[in-house]
């Protein structure tokens, strides 16, 4: 038997005595989380707001909490372990702990994409910084070194020759976390000054954006500008397949176009941010509404 404890904020549609079947797990309520909560309120769908900073799951008592949890936690490890703990007591988590495990780690994502035969840039996983230098010779320059876990383009480094790579890897070797010493090496694909974000909800490409930037990293968090994109059949098919490869029901799939127009999958984001995409589409697309509808369907099963 199990108990769950967390600071809980109930939605306006929740009666004090009732525990809703649905919860939104988030330590930070940003544009995305607030939009989803508002969409749930508008649909009259009761939910709790679970704050992972005060969440624990322990054996010993009966579990009576929400049966369905939308995982919007911004921290990867909190999100991963919260999902795993909740699933251990029978809760359905969107996205699942397994999907967060794959999508939240760049190597696990690459391995899943390769297992499913999907196009993705040439990648090497070097188990030590020394091995990374040899891996770079294999991959070729310019190449990109990425932390296994992390987002928003942080610590993603483009290296153009072995001298530069050696210096960067020396810094990586000095980092305290053992995980940091496992180096993800990826070819830098020659591409246009834009990449593509496709939002996948329950196996459907809901919408997309081109993201343009004056620098080589096209993260919205780094100032990239989003422009609306109606996904083509090719975009949709590849994005949906990539989302499925890592087991995500909700995903932001990043695609890049090489100079010949060929598409390849760069990332699958499991706790997708959609401020840029929503802003680009305006009233033509209701991302939070689509997510709320997915959750509504889940609470009825």
Partner 1 sequence: MQQAVHAPECPECATTVTLDEDARVSEIIECVDCRSELEIASVEPPKVELAPEVEEDWGE
CA gap 271, 74 in Å, rounded: 8
According to the binding rule CB under 8 A, does residue 5 interact with partner 1?
Answer: no
CA gap 40, 38 in Å, rounded: 5
CA gap 190, 122 in Å, rounded: 12
According to the binding rule CB under 8 A, does residue 20 interact with partner 1?
Answer: no
The number of residues in the chain equals: 301
According to the binding rule CB under 8 A, does residue 27 interact with partner 1?
Answer: yes
**Site mask for partner 1 (CB under 8 A), range 61-80, x = bound:** -------------xxxx---
Name which of 21 and 271 has its Cβ closer to partner 1: 271
Q: Give the residue, chosen from 38, 84, 213, 232, that forms a contact with partner 1 under the rule CB under 8 A.
A: 38
CA gap 222, 218 in Å, rounded: 7
Minimal distance, residue 55 CB to partner 1, in Å = 13
Buried b (16+ CB within 10 A) or exposed e, 216-250: ebbbbeeebbbeebebeeebbebbbbbbbbbbbbb
The stretch among 33-41, 208-216, 258-266, 278-286 that binds partner 1 (CB under 8 A) is 33-41
CA gap 21, 46 in Å, rounded: 8
According to the binding rule CB under 8 A, does residue 106 interact with partner 1?
Answer: no
The stretch among 83-91, 114-122, 267-275, 277-285 that binds partner 1 (CB under 8 A) is 267-275
Closest CA to 120 of 291, 266, 269: 266
The stretch among 25-33, 85-93, 127-135, 136-144 that binds partner 1 (CB under 8 A) is 25-33
Minimal distance, residue 201 CB to partner 1, in Å = 15
Scan residues 143-172 and list those touching partner 1 (CB under 8 A): 147, 149-152, 154
The stretch among 32-40, 183-191, 224-232, 257-265 that binds partner 1 (CB under 8 A) is 32-40
The number of C-alpha atoms within 13 Å of 191 and in the hemisphere containing its C-beta is 25
Do residues 270 and 251 lie in contact, with contact meaning Cβ atoms separated by under 8 Å?
A: yes
Residue matched to tokens 């589409």: 281
Name which of 74 and 125 has its Cβ closer to partner 1: 74
Which residues make up the interface to partner 1 (CB under 8 A)? 9, 26-30, 34, 37-38, 49, 51, 74-77, 147, 149-152, 154, 221, 252, 269-273
């Amino acid at each position: 038997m199990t108990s769950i404890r967390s600071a809980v904020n109930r939605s306006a549609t929740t009666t004090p005595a009732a525990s809703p079947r649905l919860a939104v797990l988030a330590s930070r309520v940003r544009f995305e989380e607030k939009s989803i909560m508002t969409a749930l309120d508008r649909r009259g769908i009761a939910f709790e707001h679970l704050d992972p900073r005060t969440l624990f799951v322990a054996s010993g008592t009966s579990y009576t909490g929400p049966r369905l949890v939308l995982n919007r936690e911004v921290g990867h490890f909190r999100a991963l372990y919260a999902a795993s703990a909740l699933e251990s007591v029978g809760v359905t988590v969107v996205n699942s702990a397994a999907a967060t495990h794959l999508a939240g780690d760049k190597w696990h994502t690459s391995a899943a994409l390769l297992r499913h035969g999907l196009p993705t840039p040439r990648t090497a996983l070097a188990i030590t910084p020394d091995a990374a230098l040899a891996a770079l010779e294999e991959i070729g320059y310019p190449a990109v070194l990425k932390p296994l876990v992390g987002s928003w383009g942080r610590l993603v480094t483009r290296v153009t020759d072995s001298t530069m790579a050696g210096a960067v890897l020396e810094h990586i070797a000095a980092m305290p976390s053992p995980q940091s010493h496992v180096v993800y090496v990826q070819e830098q694909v020659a591409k246009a000054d834009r990449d593509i974000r496709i939002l996948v909800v329950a196996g459907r490409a809901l919408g997309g954006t081109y993201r343009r930037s004056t620098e080589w990293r096209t993260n919205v968090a780094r100032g990239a500008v989003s422009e609306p994109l109606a996904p083509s059949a090719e975009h949709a098919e590849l994005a949906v397949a990539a989302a499925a490869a890592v087991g995500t029901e909700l995903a932001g799939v990043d695609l890049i176009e090489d100079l010949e127009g060929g598409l390849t999958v760069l990332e699958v984001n499991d706790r997708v941010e959609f401020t840029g995409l929503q802003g680009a589409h305006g009233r033509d697309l209701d991302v939070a509404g689509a997510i709320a509808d997915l959750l509504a369907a889940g609470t009825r099963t």
